[in-house]
């Protein structure tokens, strides 16, 4: 059975299926269809969706809602992501599970509101002060807009951090025929909530004792992720954007600050293999490896088919977990090739990551920043 569907609708379904029950967003092309659909659908399932006054408020509301127990989503494009920046840092620091869809369009600035781009790849990684790791997934077709949205919600809970779903204008707004059987439904874990001190209904005469008991954060071992203490839950928890100890109390004590910041790094970077998601199509005799992600992967799949039909050996790696960089899969794919071609709709942002791993190999890019897609022919040409 088939249907005609675009990426926006697939993301909305993925979010609803993942148990998303809060959405706040601000209109922006090409992310508005997600906002419009969730404003219609979420109230039907007891959820809340709201059009905020700007992007700063959108993500702020999502952070607040998550602290009070909701599973929140927001969606924007490059200019809006710029306004999310400070609150992304807040979500990282407060360890707030949150899914952020960035439907990329051509930048910089207003750029091409209705034209495709993949220029936010490094922006999502480094888009807030401090340089702490985030997770970013990039669906390469409409089915994956559904399944990776579910995966994003799962990872947000697993790692208590903002997870980006990096799509683009073409993927989200172009209706495609999809075989319904091809939707994958990865599991989405429930939020692990901190069990606290039992509180009598009569009172909180001992409330000061119950503050942050048990502690809402744990930094030892550094990569361990604590259950979430929620507003309305057992532990009278505080959140803060300032450096804090395990009880979320503000501190500047160097040892405690170091433990916090090492935890924010280690919980993601030490688990990169758990997050890693690629589509690896390696040909034993190939000298050339193609790497692509997102909408550009579509052209790559076709180019690989056609090159092989012509009798040429070629390998392809489609990266679906952009951050952290899936180094294990990339190193494997790089083992037996002489040359790597990285195709992307920017000036070579992800190529930098490949070059880092492909020391001694020839690495070249196929890049477009004119609002058009890379074609299979351009990739086939690059293989010659």
**DSSP character at residue 138:** -
3-state secondary structure of 252: coil
Q: Which candidate, 98, 95, 137, 103, places its Cα nearest to that of 18?
A: 98
Selected binder of other proteins within 204, 253, 258, 313 (CB under 8 A): 204
**DSSP character at residue 236:** B
- Nearest distance from C-beta of residue 163 to other proteins, angstroms: 18
Contact 89, 126 (CB under 8 A): no
Structure token pair of residue 44 = 């039907």
Binding mask 218-257 for other proteins (x = CB under 8 A): -------------xx---xxxxxxx------xx-------
Query: Please, which residue, 64 or 371, has the CB nearer to other proteins?
Result: 64
Query: Please, which residue, 19 or 214, has the CB nearer to other proteins?
Result: 19
The count of residues in the chain is 384
**DSSP character at residue 205:** T
- Helix (H) / strand (E) containing 274: helix 272-275
| Interacting span for other proteins (CB under 8 A) from 57-65, 117-125, 133-141, 343-351 | 57-65
> Any idea which residue has 């502690």 for tokens?
215
Q: If binding is defined by CB under 8 A, does position 4 make contact with other proteins?
A: no
Selected binder of other proteins within 29, 36, 39, 64 (CB under 8 A): 64
Selected binder of other proteins within 31, 38, 52, 322 (CB under 8 A): 52
Selected binder of other proteins within 66, 104, 118, 346 (CB under 8 A): 66
Q: If binding is defined by CB under 8 A, does position 61 make contact with other proteins?
A: yes
In whole angstroms, how far apart are CA 247 and each of 209, 315, 375?
12, 50, 53
Structure token pair of residue 131 = 């340089």
| Interacting span for other proteins (CB under 8 A) from 19-27, 300-308, 321-329, 355-363 | 19-27
C-alpha–C-alpha distance, residues 36 and 154, integer Å: 24
Q: Which residues contribute to the site for other proteins (CB under 8 A)?
A: 1, 3, 9, 13, 16-17, 19, 22, 24, 43-46, 48, 50, 52-54, 56-58, 60-70, 72, 86-87, 89-90, 146, 180, 183, 185, 199, 203-205, 207-208, 210-211, 231-232, 236-242, 249-250
């Amino acid at each position: 059975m088939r249907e005609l569907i675009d990426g926006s609708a697939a993301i909305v379904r993925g979010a609803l299926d993942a148990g998303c029950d809060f959405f706040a967003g601000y209109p922006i092309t090409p992310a508005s269809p997600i906002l419009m659909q969730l404003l219609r659908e979420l109230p039907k399932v007891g959820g809340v969706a709201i059009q905020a006054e700007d992007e700063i408020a959108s993500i702020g509301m999502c952070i607040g809602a998550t602290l009070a127990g909701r599973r929140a989503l927001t969606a924007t494009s490059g200019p809006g992501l710029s306004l999310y920046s400070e609150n992304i840092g807040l979500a990282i620091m407060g360890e707030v599970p949150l899914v952020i869809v960035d439907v990329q369009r051509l930048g910089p600035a207003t750029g091409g509101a209705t034209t495709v781009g993949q220029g936010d790849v490094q922006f999502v990684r480094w888009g807030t002060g401090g340089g702490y790791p985030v997770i970013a997934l990039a669906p390469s077709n409409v089915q994956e807009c559904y399944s990776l949205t579910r995966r994003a919600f799962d990872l947000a809970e697993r790692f208590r951090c903002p997870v980006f779903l990096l799509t683009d204008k073409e993927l989200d707004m172009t209706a495609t025929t999809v075989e319904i059987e091809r939707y994958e439904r990865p599991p989405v874990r429930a939020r692990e909530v901190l069990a606290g001190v039992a509180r009598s209904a009569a009172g909180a005469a001992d409330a000061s004792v119950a503050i942050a008991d048990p502690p809402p954060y744990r930094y030892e071992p550094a990569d361990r992720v604590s259950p979430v203490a929620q507003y309305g839950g057992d532990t009278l928890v505080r959140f803060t954007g300032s450096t804090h100890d395990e009880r979320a109390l503000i501190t500047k004590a160097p040892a405690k600050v170091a433990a916090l910041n090492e935890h924010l790094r280690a919980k993601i970077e030490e688990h990169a293999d758990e997050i890693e998601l690629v589509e690896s199509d390696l040909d034993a005799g190939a000298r050339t490896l193609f790497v692509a992600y997102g909408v550009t992967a579509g052209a790559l799949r076709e180019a690989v088919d056609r090159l092989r039909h012509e009798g040429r050996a070629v390998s392809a790696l489609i990266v679906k977990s952009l951050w952290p960089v899936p180094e294990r899969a990339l190193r494997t794919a790089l083992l037996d090739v002489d040359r790597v071609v990285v195709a992307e709709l920017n000036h070579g942002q992800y190529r930098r990551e490949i070059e880092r791993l492909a020391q001694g190999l020839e690495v070249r890019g196929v890049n477009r920043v004119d609002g058009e897609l890379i074609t299979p022919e351009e990739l086939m040409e690059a293989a010659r």
